[in-house]
Structure 1
Amino acid sequence: MLEEEEPETYVPPAAQQRSLLRRRAASFGHALRGVWVALRSELHLQFHAAATVLVLGLGAYFQLSPTEWALVGLSVASVWAAELFNTAIETLTNLVSPGYHPLAGKAKDVAAGAVLLAALGAVVVGGLVFGPKVWALLPR
């Protein structure tokens, strides 16, 4: 015997909008929890956090221009994003391949390489933005 499907209940558009907003808010909560979990468990991300605090302090001290802030902000965000992707890839790789496998090692190495490139790019941007400002402070 086939079960009868219940007719869909009418949901007013305003209620649908509130539901959508709640789901979006929950998504941000999940994302922030992911950053927090990675920050607590990953030593490299803790290093990046300390570097971020230092860079923000230097930026405030040197009164960076909006363009300089944009470059520094994009650099910091790219390093954090690369590190979070790396953490996710390593965690997933450990789940599906707990033992050693050359492809698992390759995936981890490539993800770590992405972090390295983002960090090197951030160092270059930092040198270009902060270098002349620090140089101007040095006694001659």
Structure 2
Amino acid sequence: MRRLIRSFGFAFKGLQYAASTQPNFRIHLGATVIAISLGIALHLSTAEWQWVALSIALVLVTELINTAIETLTDLVSPTYNIKAGHVKDVSAGAVVVAAVFALITGCIVFIPKLILLV
């Protein structure tokens, strides 16, 4: 049980590291707060919440994986290396794909509800 509790401690330490060192992760956390607040205000259905939650999780997870890959790449290749650059670019590209998915999902879920308010 002690080992399990420690593993959660390491996981939260990783989240804290990402939040304190990665500006893009903080931007995604801000977008998360906005999406959840808007979802509460617009009374999303369960199905809509599932899509919003999936989008949020996908973006945050890819950003965390991107941070891990970039940190590891910097460790193993401290000087410029074209292949290390490709690794970083590809992992950043994964975040962009997830963010575009989240943006499209947000538009599908939120725009019709916002139009009804106007």
> Partner of 1:102 in structure 2?
82
**Higher RCO, 1 vs 2 (CA within 8 Å, ≥6 residues apart):** 2
* Gapped regions of structure 1 (runs ≥ 5): 1-20
Alignment match, 2:9: 29
Asked whether 1:80 is paired with 2:42, we answer: no
Whichever structure has more helix as a proportion of its residues is: 2
Displaced runs of 4+ in structure 1, greater than 2 A?
none
- Supply the distance in 2 between the matched residues of 1:89 and 1:102 (Cα, whole angstroms): 15
Taking only the aligned residue pairs, the percentage that are identical comes to 47
Q: Determine whether 1:71 maps to 2:71.
A: no
Q: Distance in 1 between matches of 2:25 and 2:39?
A: 20
Q: Look up the match of 1:51.
A: 31
State which structure, 1 or 2, has the greater radius of gyration over its C-alpha atoms.
1
| 1:41 maps onto 2:17 in alignment | no
3-state SS in 1 of match to 2:5: helix
Q: CA deviation at 1:131?
A: 1.0
Aligned residue pair count: 118
Deviations 1:67-94 (A, max 9, x none): 1111100100000000000000000000
1:127 to 95, 107, 112: 107
Q: Which amino acid aligns with 2:104?
A: V
Q: Which runs of 5+ in 2 are unaligned?
A: none
TM superposition score normalised by structure 1: 0.82
* CA shift for structure 1 position 56: 0.6
CA distance, structure 2, for counterparts of residue 66 and residue 133 of structure 1:
15
Q: Which residue of 2 aligns with 1:7?
A: none
